[in-house]
Amino acid sequence: MTNESQFSVKAEPPPPALGPPPKRAPAPPGVTFDVQGLKVWFAAHQVLFDVSLQIPPKAVTAIIGPSGCGKSTFLRSLNRMHDLAPGARVEGRITLFGEDLYARQVDPTLVRRRVGMVFQKSNPFPTMSIADNVIVGLKLNGVRQKSLLRERLEQTLRMAALWDEVKDRLHAHALSLSGGQQQRLCIARALAIEPEVLLMDEPASALDPLATAKIEELILELRKQFTIVIVTHNMQQASRVSDFTAFFYLGRLVEVDQTKKLFTNPKDKQTEDYVTGRFG
Ligand code: ADP
Ligand code: MG
């Protein structure tokens, strides 16, 4: 870890001159997440088995697979959400731009600042206005300057394709928005603290087709700036929005490839059976 590390909260002791050789090759430059040998348990129940996967930058990677196969569990290991779940245990190695996310000196709240997350059910803070929902993270991070907050508010709502719909009622209750607008508000809230990565766990599964289309358009727009990892149980959605798709089954990564290839010419029989609708 270098001095520039954004993670370090205390100085790390210097590495031994001749440490053991690294177990696996480092991620090639340009990889956002390098996941190696990831295993996750909830108490005695193992949910992920030896998952190794590289997530490329400024692209959308979709995680697909039947319900219960570990998609959300995988996503949550990318920003250390499992630290908050009692009984969860994570093994393996995950680096973000080369830095070990699970190293002892890494502060998980800093990880979650760099790796933002949007959930299936939109969850705006119910007692707050639209504006406050967006800037709450900045305020918690000590930004006080009104002009800066105002500027970030507009900028982020524009990025989330919500500005035009709410600019005249920024101080209205967040819950006065439609379901689709609330989900875009949550995306704006995640973007406000300038993450490097956006994780989305079935962000449109509770929305009607029109609101879903808006979220998908937004994902394609945000891809230009961010690495996005999206869990979806909707294969059409995966093929519309993603560049790469990873198919999970029973806690294992079965296959990962360019989305088009995975859907039209899968290498694995299980993938083929799943994408052709033989099980699900
Ligand atoms: P998916 O998102 O693919 O539907 P999940 O990752 O949510 O699957 O769940 C995979 C398995 O892990 C399921 O058996 C689920 O019950 C279990 N699981 C997920 N989260 C927890 C948790 N916090 N505590 C205990 N078990 C969990
Ligand atoms: Mg899930």
* pLDDT 10s digits, 116-174: 999 999 999 999 999 999 999 999 989 999 999 999 999 999 999 999 999 999 999 99
User: Once rounded to an integer, what is the mean pLDDT over residues 235-243?
Assistant: 96
CB of residue 280 inside a 6 A radius of ligand 1: no
CB of residue 47 inside a 6 A radius of ligand 1: yes
223 to 150, 172, 229, 251: CA distances (angstroms): 25, 30, 10, 27
Residue 63 Cα, ligand 2 centroid: separation in angstroms? 10
**By CB neighbour count within 10 A (0-12 exposed, 13-18 middle, 19+ buried), where does 4 fall?**
exposed
CB of residue 85 inside a 6 A radius of ligand 1: yes
β-sheet bridge partners, residue 129: 173
Mean pLDDT for all residues in the chain: 91
Report the DSSP pairing between strands 45-55 and 33-42.
antiparallel
Select from 2.40.128.30, 3.40.47.10, 3.40.50.300, 3.50.50.60 the CATH code of 33-275: 3.40.50.300
| Distance in angstroms (rounded) separating the CA atoms of residues 16 and 32 | 27
User: Once rounded to an integer, what is the mean pLDDT over residues 91-111?
Assistant: 95
Predicted local distance difference test score (pLDDT) of residue 24: 52
Residue 68 Cα, ligand 1 centroid: separation in angstroms? 6
* Domain residue ranges of the chain, discontinuous segments joined by +: 33-275
pLDDT tops 70 at residue 93? yes
Cβ partners under 8 Å of residue 275, min gap 6: 235, 247, 262, 263, 266
- % of the chain beyond a pLDDT of 70: 90
CB of residue 251 inside a 6 A radius of ligand 1: no
pTM for the model: 0.89
Local confidence band at 33 (pLDDT 50, 70, 90 cut-offs): very high
Local confidence band at 5 (pLDDT 50, 70, 90 cut-offs): very low
Give the atom of ligand 1 at the shortest distance from the alpha carbon of 82: 23
CB of residue 71 inside a 6 A radius of ligand 1: yes
